[in-house]
Structure 1
Amino acid sequence: MFLFLPLLSRLGFDALVRDAGYPGSKMIPPDAALLALLSQKLLRKERRSHIDDHNVDAGLGLFAGLNVRPKKSFATEYSYRGQRIHQERLMGSWVKKLSPLLLPGAKAFALDFHPIPYRGEEATLENHYIPGRGKACPSVQALFAQEHETRVFCYANANLLRTEQTGEVLRFTDYWRDLMGTYPEWLYFDSKLTTYAELSKLNEREISFATIRRRGANILRALRERPKSDWTTVRIDIPKRRNKEIRYVDESIRLPEYEGTLRQIALDGLGHESPTLLLTNHPDVSVRSVFGNYARRNGIEDGLGTNVDFFHMDNLSSEVRLNVDLDVTLTVVANSCYRWLASRLKGFDGAKPKPVSRKFVETGGEIEVHPGKRLRVTFDRRCHNPILREAALDKDAPPIPWLDNYKIEFDYR
């Protein structure tokens, strides 16, 4: 766990929590409360009730600036005290501070919804289709935005009603403009994320996008009736792809509620029975480029699957959206913590959280508090310790504000 302290202290996590306006108590300040909840994510604990497994662990208490971690009654009660404005402030300031380290020059983002199912007996939640169950169930719909190159999650919102979901794309662009001063250059998302009217507003903001159009019977019939001369063959050099040669028809179309024309690229030969229809408002980008970049959007689905598996994002029992919203915000923070750690470990740049946790984080050791405000962490013997030693995560690490400005040192048996 202490491997993440250099990053948390460098970004000033305690100050970000206080500036976000999170509440605290006399015994447990807000930064300690959030660090205790965040440690659950970093430790792969499924539910807040499992926090009791570490009630007497002084080391995990020290991580949050406490003698021991708070019990589940406090953690559960505290999760109901947050507001959406708190989550927005924390997430925005965290991503802005993180940007020079992991997101330099971020311009393209992939967006997707993820339904988080409710497992209680009664709920007043709306029904959303759950792919894993093959049917619609009471759930909380959450939007996630992932940077296209590094696959770092930089936005999440679970405090959404069905009527608000189509406008979430524009809210994300406003969020990014407020953080960085400019709108994103490219957005990639599927057909169910928003409406044609919202796509028109993206075009007005000069934001390029690529999305999928739903295939109606009339559209497919018209494509089948086209002569072979209308189709152009192109080779897609994507490693491990079975169908490398595809055919396409590139044309301009008009759609209801969209002002102006859109570029539609009908792609055949992808291994599907029917052609895939790509829509984009960029007139000049090559078909090979727009298809390749959109295909990489599948990375957000893979990233969501990783979060569901590793951070137990689906193991929620609350029907209060704000409670779920706090959880997904902490998931965004925990995800970027693991992406930072992987980026510092030679040979693990693209590693998912699970192997990083198994080989580096799940390591025992001793913590010693030395005079002169030195906190020495000695790790037990592991075969991957040389990689940690080479990374020198503690080198130039700033003092930890919530630990009385102690400096951390890593040592190995």
Structure 2
Amino acid sequence: MRTIERVLAEEGFKKLPRRTQLKIGRTIKGAEVPQRSESITLSQLDELRVESAGAGVFLFAPFIAQLHLDEVVKAANLPGNKSISAMNYFLSFLGFKLLGTERYAHVGEHGFDQGLGLFAGLNVLPKCTVLSTYSYSLDASHLLRLQGAFKRKYPQPMVHVSTIELRGYEGELRQIIVRGNGHEKPAFLITNDFETPVELVVGNYARRWRVENGIAEAIKFFHLNALSSPILTKIHFDVVITMIADTLYSRLAQQLRGFEDCDAPKIFRNFVKGKGDIEVRGGNIKVTFSKRAHNPILRTVPWQNLPCEIPWLDGAKLTLKFN
């Protein structure tokens, strides 16, 4: 090496500068440096075939298309840039929530997963600093527009009010029966409050029931109370993403025979968690899931009645196969 160096020096060639760790593609500790995140088109990935630990997120793609979340993000005027669009950012955060990622800081665990990147319309998911910076670029108007896009499914329930007596209780009680609230059986409310308007009683009950159950699930699975450092995320934005992820889990659960009333952790454990093979060919995406005990239930889902084209991936046709 010294002879070569001397000959080059005699011919006027300077010593080449030492390559940086980034150019080498390795960190100081020897770990591989993932690619820089950027938007991709399916034509760039044609003939791609990869195994993904987060392939289960593609189960939600038809429901995301059904809810027109791409239009919601556009209407909310969320920020983006030339490398990563607003929808790419939105789906990156949503993907972590759908996988029950305990902290956004654990993004490093998915930094090389091309399948998760493809779900978000990227080559790979963004890094911690990028996600943190994006979260704090959102102001209240962005989040309110995003949250306001969701409407109540049962805005006008039917209510019957009557007066009853209960054994062991002196005096009369107010009984309120509620139907058309999204449940198969009516809800019975009994109270000694005769003064509060019925709409407030029903509204307060529904809100309290949803809050108590929602908080438990948000903490247990969506990790709403988890510290997000080193990714600093606005709590309002985290709540909105949690709400959307919970809605998607509810949509999926309604299609799963025998699991309609199950919570997100159980749906994730039995259906979403696990590896899968992702193949891109001719502008189409095929996701093949490994053998699992509950795959027969996934096969009975009428996927043909759900949107099969993914609008944020150039309208690619999505095919789900369960071994």
**1:294 Cα shift?**
3.6
Q: Which residue of 1 aligns with 2:60?
A: 4
Secondary structure of the corresponding residue to residue 280 of structure 1: coil
Q: 1:60 to 1:265 in 2, by over 3 A?
A: closer
Give yes or no for contact 1:82–1:322 (8 Å, CA) kept in 2. no
Q: 1:325 to 1:30 in 2, by over 3 A?
A: same
5 Å matches for 1:3-402?
3-93=59-149, 95-96=150-151, 103=153, 105-107=154-156, 233-234=165-166, 246-249=169-172, 266=192, 280-282=196-198, 294=205, 297-316=208-227, 323-371=234-282, 373-393=283-303, 395-402=305-312
Matched pairs, number: 247
Q: 1:294 to 1:389 in 2, by over 3 A?
A: same
Report the TM-score when normalising by structure 2.
Answer: 0.68
Runs of 4+ in 1 over 4 A off after TM superposition: 245-251
Secondary structure of the corresponding residue to residue 408 of structure 1: strand
Matched residues in 1 for 2:280 and 2:77: separation? 31
Q: 1:55 to 1:322 in 2, by over 3 A?
A: closer
The answer to which structure has the higher strand fraction is: 1
Q: 1:325 to 1:295 in 2, by over 3 A?
A: closer
Secondary structure of the corresponding residue to residue 234 of structure 1: coil
Task: Tell me the percent identity.
Answer: 37
Give yes or no for contact 2:132–2:233 (8 Å, CA) kept in 1. no
**1:279 Cα shift?**
5.4
Give yes or no for contact 2:100–2:222 (8 Å, CA) kept in 1. yes
Give yes or no for contact 1:394–1:409 (8 Å, CA) kept in 2. no
Matched residues in 2 for 1:75 and 1:322: separation? 8
Runs (5+) with no aligned partner, structure 2: 1-56, 175-189
**1:12 Cα shift?**
2.2
Runs (5+) with no aligned partner, structure 1: 109-184, 187-230, 236-244, 252-263, 267-276
Superimposed CA distance per residue, residues 237-285 of structure 1 (whole angstroms, 9 cap, x where no aligned partner): xxxxxxxx6555569xxxxxxxxxxxx953xxxxxxxxxx6752139x9
**1:39 Cα shift?**
0.8
Q: 1:85 to 1:388 in 2, by over 3 A?
A: same
Matched residues in 2 for 1:62 and 1:37: separation? 14
Asked if 1:405 corresponds to 2:312, the answer is: no
Give yes or no for contact 1:3–1:393 (8 Å, CA) kept in 2. no
Structure with higher RCO (Cα < 8 A, 6+ apart): 2
Give the letter for the 2:58 counterpart.
F
Give yes or no for contact 1:249–1:265 (8 Å, CA) kept in 2. no
Give yes or no for contact 2:165–2:173 (8 Å, CA) kept in 1. no
Give yes or no for contact 1:65–1:403 (8 Å, CA) kept in 2. yes
Give yes or no for contact 2:278–2:286 (8 Å, CA) kept in 1. yes
Give the letter for the 1:13 counterpart.
L
Superimposed CA distance per residue, residues 305-363 of structure 1 (whole angstroms, 9 cap, x where no aligned partner): 11111100111458xx9811000000110010001000111111111101000000002
Q: 1:19 to 1:279 in 2, by over 3 A?
A: same
Superimposed CA distance per residue, residues 129-172 of structure 1 (whole angstroms, 9 cap, x where no aligned partner): xxxxxxxxxxxxxxxxxxxxxxxxxxxxxxxxxxxxxxxxxxxx
**1:393 Cα shift?**
2.7
Higher-Rg member (1/2): 2
Secondary structure of the corresponding residue to residue 383 of structure 1: coil
Q: 1:81 to 1:391 in 2, by over 3 A?
A: same
Q: Which residue of 1 aligns with 2:25?
A: none
